[in-house]
């Protein structure tokens, strides 16, 4: 991107299409909705039946000992409801998915 800025050219392809973003998310219901959406992706993609079965997922890592999950920074005091695993493994509603997709399409935070 610096090279393009220096030579006043525009980038093309997937690297420059704004696909990779990060937005701050407040520690409230929005955080839980986004976490559920992300942890449910392998289930929705038919890779596994339960979210915690996907080895590269925070749902999987959270169920391991702190020694096994040291490679991923997961706060220990994350405010998850008692029935979190059930919520993640439950089929998401269409309005939830549509809200997340609209935010991605419009490039706005959730």
In tens, the pLDDT along 1-45 reads 677 778 877 666 555 555 566 666 766 777 787 788 888 889 888
The band of 87, judged by pLDDT with boundaries at 50, 70 and 90, is confident
Tokens 């059930």 correspond to what residue? 86
Whether the CB-CB separation of 61 and 72 falls below 8 Å is answered with yes
More confident call, 12 vs 53: 53
């Amino acid at each position: 991107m610096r090279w393009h800025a220096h030579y006043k050219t525009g980038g093309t392809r997937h690297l420059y299409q704004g696909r990779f973003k990060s937005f701050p998310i407040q520690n409230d219901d929005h955080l839980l909705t986004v976490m559920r959406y992300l942890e449910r992706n392998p289930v929705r993609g038919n890779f596994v039946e339960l979210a915690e079965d996907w080895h590269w997922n925070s749902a999987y890592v959270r169920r391991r000992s702190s020694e096994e999950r040291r490679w991923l920074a997961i706060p220990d005091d994350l405010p998850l409801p008692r029935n979190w695993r059930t919520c993640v493994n439950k089929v998401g509603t269409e309005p939830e998915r549509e809200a997340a997709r609209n935010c991605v399409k419009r490039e706005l935070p959730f």
